[in-house]
A = this chain, B = another copy of it.
Amino acid sequence: MPRQPIAKNKKAVVLISGGLDSAVTLYYALKRGFLCFGLIFDYGQRHKREIESAKRICGICGCNYELIRIRLPWKGSSLLDNSLAVESRFGRPRSIPNTYVPGRNIIFLSFASSFAEVVGANTIFIGAHTQDYSGYPDCRWEFLKVMEDVLALGTRAGSCGDRIKIEAPLIRMVKSQIIRLGLKLGVPFQHTWSCYRGGRYPCGRCDSCLYRAKGFQGAGLEDPLLVKQ
C-alpha cells in the first residue's frame, strides 16, 4: 500500500469525497510519490456519511487533510435539499440529474487552489471521470483544462510562473477500470462510500450505487462494502 513519501519534493492537494474514485486517485498520487494534502468538504450533502469515509481513508494511508464546511443558502440540488427525491439518469449519461450541485467542482477546485498556494503544491488531483458518469458538466476534461488556466492567471503562484496543474488520472476510465486500478494500489474499498442517500446501508438504487455495482460487476469482483454487511 502506498503511504506518504519521506522525500518531500513533490506536493499535491487531493480532493477526497470518501467515494471510490477519489480514494483511487489519492492512492495513485501517493504511488507517484507526491506528498499529499487531502481536502474534504462538508457541503451539507445528504450523504454526510461519505465525510467519515474520507477521513478514514486519509487516516489509513497517513494523509493529512483539511475539512472545509460550506453551506449554500440556495441549495438547487437533491443532494442538498431533502424535499427533492434523488433522481436517476443511469444509462442516460448525457442528461444532467437533479443530484447536480451547481458549481460544486468549481468551488472545490477554487478552495484547492488556495490550499495548494499556501502549502506550495503545484498539482491538484481530482477523481473526476466522464465515461461512467452522471452527465455533470464540471467533471469534463475541457472544464478542468480551462480551470487550470484560471489557476495560472488568478493565483500568485501562477502569476509568478509556477503553474498549478490539475490532474484527473481517471478521466477516461470506466468504473470497472478504476476499481481494477484501485485493487492494484491497495485501496480499502470497504471504507469508501458512494450511496447518495446516505442511509445506514447503500440504497442500491441511486445512480451512484448503480454505477458502483456495474463497476464491481465489470471488474468481476464483489463489493467489499456489501460483503462486509
How near does chain B come to A77, taking the closest CB pair, in angstroms?
9
- The segment from A108-116, A174-182, A221-229 that touches chain B is A108-116
Name the one of B74, B101, B111, B153 contacting A107, with C-beta atoms under 8 angstroms: B111
Q: Is A44 an interface residue (CB 8 A)?
A: no
Closest to A117 in B: B102
Distance, CA A150 to CA B73, complexed state (A): 22
Overall SS of chain A's interface = helix
Chain B residues whose C-beta falls within 8 Å of the C-beta of A143 in the assembled complex: 150, 153-154
A:129-158 near B, CB below 8 Å: 137-138, 140, 142-143, 146-147, 149-151, 153-156, 158
Closest to A140 in B: B153
- The segment from A1-9, A62-70, A192-200 that touches chain B is A62-70
Question: What 1/0 mask marks residues of chain A from 178 to 190 whose CB sits below 8 Å from any chain B CB?
Answer: 0000000000000
How near does chain B come to A27, taking the closest CB pair, in angstroms?
24
Residue pair A68, B73 in contact (C-beta under 8 Å): yes
Q: How many monomers of this chain does the complex have?
A: 2
Residue pair B117, A137 in contact (C-beta under 8 Å): no
Q: Which range contains the number of A residues in contact with the other chain?
A: 35 or more
Chain B residues whose C-beta falls within 8 Å of the C-beta of A109 in the assembled complex: 110
Chain B residues whose C-beta falls within 8 Å of the C-beta of A102 in the assembled complex: 113-115, 117-118, 155-156
Q: Is A76 an interface residue (CB 8 A)?
A: yes
Chain B residues whose C-beta falls within 8 Å of the C-beta of A114 in the assembled complex: 72, 74, 76, 101-104, 106-107
Q: Is A96 an interface residue (CB 8 A)?
A: yes
Q: Is A84 an interface residue (CB 8 A)?
A: no
Residue pair B106, A154 in contact (C-beta under 8 Å): yes
A:66-124 near B, CB below 8 Å: 66-76, 96, 100-107, 109-111, 113-115, 117-119
15 A-B residue contacts at CB 8 Å?
A68-B70, A74-B114, A74-B119, A75-B118, A96-B159, A102-B113, A103-B111, A103-B155, A106-B114, A106-B155, A107-B111, A137-B154, A140-B154, A146-B146, A146-B153
Given contacts A137-B156, A146-B150, A149-B149, 8 further A-B contacts (CB under 8 A): A67-B73, A68-B71, A68-B72, A72-B114, A75-B118, A76-B114, A142-B153, A146-B146
